C-alpha cells in the first residue's frame, strides 16, 4: 500500500471517528476534533513529540483573529438582545409592511436580527410574536413563520459577525469583507425563495394553527412594554455598523493608493477586530449606559455573553489543528488531483463536504468548521484567489444550513414553537433550510465563474 493511499484511508477513518464520537458517544465537538486529529497524526507517522508541538502551534495560530471577533461579536449581540432589539425590528417591520407583503417584511426582519442574535434565541423571541397576527388573519402560522426563519437562517449561516461564518473564514484564511459581501449577494435570493415564496406555497398545503398551550403561556407572561424598546433606526444602525466598517476597510485597500492617509485610516477601523470593538463600545453605551444599565449590569452582560462564544472558539481552534495535520500530510495535493479529474469546482466540494457532515451529525456550526477544515488544504494547493475562497466559505455555510432534520436542535425548536408534527416539520422547516442551502450554493457557484 502506498503512503498516499494510506493517508487517504487514515483521513477517512479520522472523519469517521470524529462523527462517531459526536453522534454516538455524544462527546463535545472540541474534544472529538482533538482526538480525531491525534489519531490521524499518529496513523500518518507523525512522532508523538512533534504531534503535540503541532497541536499547540496550530491551536494558537488558528485562533488569533477568530477568537477576538467571535468574542466581541457575542458581546455586541447579547447587549442588543437584552435591550429588545429583535422585538423592535420585528414589530416595526410587521407594522410598516401591508398585510399583503408582511411575509417579505418578516424575511428582512429575520435577516437583520440574526446579525446579532443566535438562531435559537431568535426563534424563541420572535416566533411567539407571530401568534397574534396569525390568529387575526386566520392564515397558517407557516405563512408568517417560514419567511422569518428563512431570514434568520440565512444571516446566521452566511454573514459574519455570526460565529459560524467567522470560524469558517478564519480556517479558510478568507477576506472577511468579501465573505460579508458575497454572503449578502447569495443570501438575499436564498431568503426570498426559501422565505416568502416557499412560505406562501407551503402554507396553502399545511395549515398550522397557533399552538394553544404556548399562546396561553405567552399571554400570561409579562411582555416588554413597547415604549421601553430601542428606536428602530438605532437598532438598524447598530446592526449595520460592523458590516459597513469591515466593507469600507476591504474597499479602501482595493480603491485607494497604498500609503494614502484615508486608506490607512479606513483599513484600521475596517479591520474586523477594530470594527467589532468599536461596535461593542457603541452598543454598550447607547443600549446599556444610556438605557440606565449600571456598571455591574454591564459587566454581567458582557461576561455571560462570552460563555457560548468560548465553545465556538475552542471548536474552531481544534478544527485548525485537524486542518493543519491534513495540510502537512499532503492530502491537499491528492484531493486537488482527484477534483481536477472529476472537474469539480472548489466551491462545490466545500458544499458537498459540509452537507455530508451536516446530515450525519446535525450541528451547522460543526459542519461549517469541519467542512472548512477539509476544504482549506485544497484552496491552498490550488492557489485559489481571494474571491473564490470567500465564495467557497459561502458554499460551505450553505451545506451546513441545508438538510436540517431530526438530529438538529433547530429542527426540534421549530417543531415546538410552531406546534407541528414531525412529518409537517420535515415538509416545512427541513425543506426551507434545504432551499436556503441549495440556493446559496447555486449563486456562489455561478459567481465563482466570473470572479
Give residue limits of the domains in the chain: 63-448
Category of 377 on φ-ψ map: left (φ > 0), alpha (ψ -120 to 50) or beta: alpha
**Mean pLDDT value of segment 224-237:** 76
pLDDT band at 225 (very low <50, low <70, confident <90, very high): low
Nearest to 405 by CA among 388, 391, 422: 422
Q: pLDDT by residue (tens digit) across 166-219?
A: 889 888 889 888 999 999 999 999 999 999 999 999 999 999 888 776 656 555
- The larger pLDDT score, comparing residue 36 to residue 4, is at 36
**Mean pLDDT value of segment 374-402:** 90
Assess whether pLDDT exceeds 50 at residue 359: yes
- The larger pLDDT score, comparing residue 259 to residue 163, is at 163
Which range is least confidently modeled, 115-119, 201-205, 290-294, 351-355? 115-119
pLDDT band at 224 (very low <50, low <70, confident <90, very high): low
Distance CA 95, CA 2 (A): 66
Q: What is the mean pLDDT of the chain?
A: 82
Asked if residues 202 and 143 have their Cβ atoms less than 8 Å apart, the reply is: no
Asked if residues 64 and 46 have their Cβ atoms less than 8 Å apart, the reply is: no
Distance CA 112, CA 83 (A): 15
Q: What are the CA-CA distances from residue 135 to residues 9, 318, 417 (Å)? A: 56, 47, 15
pTM for the structure as a whole? 0.83
Q: Is the four-CA dihedral 118, 120, 122, 124 of positive or negative sign?
A: negative
Assess whether pLDDT exceeds 80 at residue 311: no
- The larger pLDDT score, comparing residue 200 to residue 122, is at 200
Assess whether pLDDT exceeds 50 at residue 145: yes
Distance CA 335, CA 52 (A): 26
Q: Is the four-CA dihedral 268, 269, 270, 276 of positive or negative sign?
A: positive
At a CB cut-off of 8 Å and minimum separation 6, what does 271 contact?
A: 246, 249
Distance CA 166, CA 154 (A): 14
In this prediction, residue 72 carries a pLDDT of: 82
Q: Using a pLDDT cut of 70, give the percent of the chain over it.
A: 91
Amino acid at each position: 500500500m502506498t503512503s498516499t493511499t494510506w493517508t487517504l484511508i487514515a483521513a477517512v477513518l479520522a472523519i469517521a471517528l470524529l462523527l462517531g464520537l459526536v453522534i454516538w458517544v455524544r462527546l463535545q465537538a472540541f474534544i472529538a476534533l482533538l482526538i480525531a486529529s491525534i489519531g490521524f497524526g499518529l496513523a500518518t507517522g507523525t512522532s508523538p513529540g512533534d504531534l503535540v508541538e503541532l497541536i499547540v502551534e496550530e491551536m494558537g495560530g488558528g485562533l488569533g483573529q477568530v477568537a477576538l471577533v467571535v468574542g466581541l461579536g457575542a458581546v455586541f449581540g447579547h447587549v442588543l438582545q437584552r435591550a429588545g432589539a429583535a422585538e423592535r425590528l420585528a414589530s416595526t417591520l410587521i407594522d410598516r409592511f401591508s398585510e399583503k407583503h408582511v411575509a417579505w417584511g418578516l424575511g428582512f426582519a429575520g435577516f437583520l436580527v440574526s446579525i446579532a442574535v443566535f438562531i435559537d434565541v431568535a426563534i424563541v423571541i420572535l416566533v411567539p410574536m407571530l401568534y397574534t397576527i396569525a390568529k387575526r388573519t386566520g392564515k397558517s402560522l407557516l405563512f408568517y413563520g417560514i419567511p422569518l426563519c428563512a431570514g434568520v437562517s440565512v444571516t446566521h449561516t452566511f454573514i459574519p459577525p455570526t460565529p459560524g461564518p467567522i470560524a469558517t473564514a478564519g480556517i479558510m484564511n478568507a477576506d472577511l469583507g468579501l465573505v460579508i459581501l458575497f454572503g449578502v449577494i447569495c443570501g438575499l435570493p436564498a431568503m426570498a425563495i426559501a422565505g416568502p415564496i416557499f412560505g406562501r406555497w407551503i402554507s396553502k398545503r399545511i395549515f398550522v394553527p397557533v399552538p394553544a398551550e404556548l399562546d396561553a403561556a405567552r399571554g400570561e407572561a409579562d411582555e416588554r412594554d413597547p415604549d421601553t424598546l430601542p428606536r428602530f433606526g438605532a437598532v438598524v444602525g447598530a446592526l449595520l455598523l460592523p458590516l459597513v466598517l469591515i466593507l469600507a476597510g476591504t474597499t479602501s485597500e482595493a480603491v485607494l493608493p497604498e500609503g494614502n492617509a484615508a486608506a490607512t485610516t479606513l483599513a484600521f477601523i475596517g479591520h474586523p477586530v477594530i470594527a467589532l470593538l468599536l461596535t461593542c463600545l457603541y452598543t454598550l453605551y447607547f443600549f446599556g449606559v444610556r438605557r440606565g444599565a449600571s456598571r455591574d449590569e454591564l459587566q454581567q452582560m458582557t461576561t455571560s455573553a462570552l460563555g457560548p462564544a468560548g465553545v465556538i472558539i475552542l471548536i474552531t481552534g481544534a478544527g485548525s489543528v485537524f486542518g493543519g495535520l491534513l495540510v502537512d500530510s499532503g492530502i491537499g495535493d491528492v484531493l486537488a488531483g482527484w477534483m481536477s479529474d472529476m472537474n469539480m469546482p472548489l466551491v462545490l466540494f466545500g458544499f458537498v463536504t459540509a452537507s455530508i457532515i451536516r446530515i450525519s451529525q446535525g450541528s451547522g456550526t460543526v459542519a461549517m468548521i469541519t467542512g472548512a477544515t477539509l476544504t482549506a488544504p485544497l484552496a491552498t494547493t490550488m492557489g485559489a484567489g481571494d474571491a473564490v475562497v470567500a465564495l467557497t466559505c459561502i458554499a460551505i455555510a450553505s451545506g451546513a444550513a441545508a438538510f436540517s432534520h431530526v438530529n438538529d436542535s433547530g429542527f426540534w425548536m421549530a417543531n415546538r414553537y410552531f406546534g407541528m408534527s414531525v412529518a409537517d416539520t420535515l415538509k416545512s422547516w427541513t425543506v426551507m433550510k434545504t432551499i436556503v442551502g441549495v440556493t446559496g450554493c447555486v449563486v456562489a457557484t455561478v459567481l465563482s465563474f466570473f470572479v
